[in-house]
Amino acid sequence: MRPHRLMRARRLLVLLLLLAGCTSGGGSEDGRITLRFQSLAWQEESVAVNKELVEEWNARHPDIKVEYVQGSWDSVHDQLLTSFEGGEAPDIVHDASDDLADFAYGGHLAELTDLLSERLKSDIPQRSWQTATFGDGIYGVPFLQEPRVLIANATWLKESGVRIPTPERPWSWGEFRQITEELSGDGKYGVAWPLKEPVSATLNLSLSAGGQLFHRDAEGKVEIRFEAADEVVPQTIHDQVNSDASASGSTLGSGGSDTLPGFFGGRYAMVPLGFSYRQQIVQQAPEGFDWQVLPAPAGADGLTQGVSPQTLSIAEDSPHKEEAAEFIDFLLRPRNMVRLALGDWMLPTGTEALKDPALHTAEHDWATGTALAAHLRSAPAQSVRGYPEWKDKVATPSLQEYYSGAIGLDELRERLEEDGNLVLARYQR
């Protein structure tokens, strides 16, 4: 290379490095506190509401500036873990209650009991606080949640003449099985279960039949027991797929969105999905397609369901915990909680917010979902240490094999209990 070319290359390199280097920096400005709020909002309306609320806060609080940082559900755990370990975490962290256990026990999240206002503490019911309680402390403010519901082809159900369930008079699991069988035939199915993640769906719905699966003794040790009440939901699904041919076997490995084309195309009469899927349905349903939201079937414990609400937490390393708690309090004022809920097509946890007329309309069946809010409980396993490993190594493959008909109920029980308790034992020594 000729000397002047070498010089040119060198200059270019220096320029690139300067370009890259000069963009670093940040931090708080003179005297003003800057809080970083990492939000996982991702839908257009939801992102807009979150940003609006941050702007409103900043306009009213010139001394405490909140910076909106966009996170992603897809990678939040790894990203937060690294940030916490490196002491670079955002001050306010948006996540879900089933992802908090490791961070709470690991000392990365601030204990919130003394930081939160009395208004907020009394507004959110105890059953919701339980979802973010680990040990004796509260490590997140649960603020949005969604029940699993049946999204149904209203025309199909009406023409078949079956009884339409309501939150006051839901179907029992037995009735649900019978009705899906009635609706099936000629390559059509009464229901399509999207069970790509079979564990949380099964455990959360099993609460309706009284299935606990995880039993905690007086010393706090957890044991897995797959009892008669735990069998109701898995057995119904298994029989629908393998005996009655009333549920499509091909959707067992699918995510919720993957079942929608078949639902719109008249292949499935119902799809069990999270309440927020309504947004996708409104966007994607063919013109004139009539759909409705039905409550999931009820069991011995009625419409009870497990949920892992979305949460807001404060990083233990944050030097401005009180200000961060003030911001959370602002974000979760009843009117703001409603705005967040509407943006995400979910239900708020706050009792005041739940009274808002916007959540009781027949449009998009908001009222049906809101009527289910009182039945939502903490997902059974989320505070159990070792649950993620049990889920990935034991429960997911076992349930997948059971639902596809490869193994029977006894084998399922044996694997969940014996293999499962071995996994949990390692975390409870």
Partner 1 sequence: MRTGIPARVGQYAALLAYLAFLAFPFLWLISTAFKPPRELGSLHPTWIPENPTLDNFRQAFDEQPLLDAASNSLIAALSAALIAVLIATPMAYVMARRRTRLARAATGWVVVSQAFPLVLVIIPLFLVLKNLRLIDSLFGLILVYVVWALPFALWMLVGYVRAVPSELEEAAAVDGAGRLRTLVSVTAPLLAPGIVATGLFAFVTAWNEFFFALVLLKTPEKQTLPVILTHFIGAEGVADLGPLAAAAFLATLPSLVVFAIVQRRITGGMLAGAVKN
Binding site for partner 1 (CB under 8 A): 1-2, 9, 12-13, 16-17, 19-21, 23-26, 36, 40, 42-44, 47, 68-70, 72-75, 78-79, 82-83, 85-88, 90, 96, 196-197, 255-257, 260-262, 264-265, 267, 274, 277, 280, 283-287, 310
Residue closer to partner 1 by CB (options 85, 411) is 85
Residue closer to partner 1 by CB (options 34, 178) is 34
CB of 362 to partner 1, least distance (A): 23
Residue closer to partner 1 by CB (options 90, 170) is 90
CB of 91 to partner 1, least distance (A): 12
CB of 388 to partner 1, least distance (A): 15
CB of 336 to partner 1, least distance (A): 20
- Cβ atoms of residues 424 and 389 within 8 Å: no
Runs of H (alpha helix) within 90-227: 101-105, 118-123, 126-129, 154-160, 173-183, 198-206
Q: Which residue has the tokens 């907020």?
A: 120
Q: For residue 204, give both structure tokens.
A: 């959360």
- Cβ atoms of residues 194 and 271 within 8 Å: yes
305-307 and 376-378: which strand pairing?
A: parallel
Return d(Cα 173, Cα 205) in angstroms, integer. 10
Residues with Cβ within 8 Å of residue 326, at least 6 apart in sequence: 64
Residues with Cβ within 8 Å of residue 32, at least 6 apart in sequence: 62, 63, 64, 65
- Cβ atoms of residues 229 and 212 within 8 Å: yes
CB of 50 to partner 1, least distance (A): 12
CB of 292 to partner 1, least distance (A): 17
Residue closer to partner 1 by CB (options 289, 351) is 289
Residue closer to partner 1 by CB (options 277, 390) is 277
Residue closer to partner 1 by CB (options 80, 207) is 80
